[in-house]
Amino acid sequence: MTNWNSTLYDEKHQFVSNYGESLVTLLQPKQNETILDVGCGTGDLTAQIQQSGATVIGVDADRDMITKAQEKYPHLPFHVVPAEQLTYEAQFHAIFSNAAIHWMKDHVTVYKACYQALQPQGRLVAEFGGADNIQGIVDALYQAAEQLQLPLAKDDFPWTFKTTKEVEQDLLAAQFTPIAITHYERPTPLDGADGLRNWLEMFSQSLLKWLTQAEKAQLYTACETILAPTHYVDGVWVADYWRMRIVAIKA
């Protein structure tokens, strides 16, 4: 499991929540609805959903993220619960999830837990990394590690990026009725001259867990060299994001 740095997340990766704002619009939260935010991180979008008048609960597998969310939004309930282990029964009108499901290995189990937690006709609205997401960055990590003869924890590859067809099959396996599945390219600017390095430090630690800090620094520099011609545009690092956006109903 990835150990998260909630401070670095908030300071250098605010784009995760910023891009999620349009997903909140798609969710269309309403007053008096009950909504579960799965993989809520530090709670920014949970708080935004609550402003609609809905009752919202945020859950995340990472304790550091939940602690930060509780500090920022003490009026909201946040709990450390992996999505695969949700035990709610027909409690929510909607489930929301932004930039989280691709961190989870067993998507069918996640969807089944969400299905169980929803009331009849409840909706699942989610976005996460899809097929081809950050492929350039991943390739650069492996290339740099090979050049430097550094070991990567390949068995702990942290992400699961699926095709549209695979996502549809997973939803159907969990008894959901898919309403919309959209796979789209979203090049994502990273913050500052150290944007790529900060991204790697934030998101690739499970892959790099065998490396010392000095070895990680070498790897980051090598990745920057490899990716500069394609991912450094007008003084800004740009991550090659592909996103999967879904709307599904518990019929």
Helix ranges (DSSP H) in the chain: 6-12, 15-27, 44-50, 63-72, 107-117, 135-148, 164-173, 195-203, 213-231
> For residue 12, what pLDDT is reported?
47
Asked whether residue 12 is domain-assigned, the answer is yes
Strands in 188-189's sheet, in edge-to-edge order, are 188-189, 236-239, 232-233
What pLDDT is recorded for position 154? 82
Q: Which domain holds residue 26?
A: 6-133+159-190+239-249
Domain count, the chain: 1
Task: Indicate the DSSP class of residue 125.
Answer: E
pLDDT (0 to 100) of residue 249: 98
Cα 248 from Cα 109, distance rounded (Å): 15
Closest CA to 100 of 251, 249, 244, 226: 244
CATH number at residue 52: 3.40.50.150
> Which residue type sits at 234?
D
The residues that bridge with 192 in the sheet, in sequence order, are none
Inside any domain, residue 186? yes
Residue 202: inside a domain: no
Q: What is the tens place of the pLDDT at every residue in 7-58?
A: 655 554 455 566 778 999 999 999 999 999 999 999 999 999 999 999 999 9
Note whether residue 11 is domain-resident. Answer: yes
**The pLDDT value given to residue 4:** 46
* 29, part of any domain: yes
Residue 87 within any structural domain of the chain: yes
In a domain, 70, yes or no: yes
Reduced to 3 states (helix: H, G, I; strand: E, B; else coil), residue 76 is coil
Inside any domain, residue 72: yes
The model carries a pTM of: 0.91
pLDDT at position 16, please?
A: 57
pLDDT value of position 63: 95
Tens digit of pLDDT per residue, the chain (251 long)? Answer: 455 455 655 554 455 566 778 999 999 999 999 999 999 999 999 999 999 999 999 999 999 999 999 999 999 999 999 999 999 999 999 999 999 999 999 999 999 999 999 999 999 999 999 999 999 999 999 999 999 999 998 888 999 999 999 999 999 999 999 999 999 999 999 988 999 999 999 899 999 999 999 999 999 999 999 999 999 999 999 999 999 999 999 99
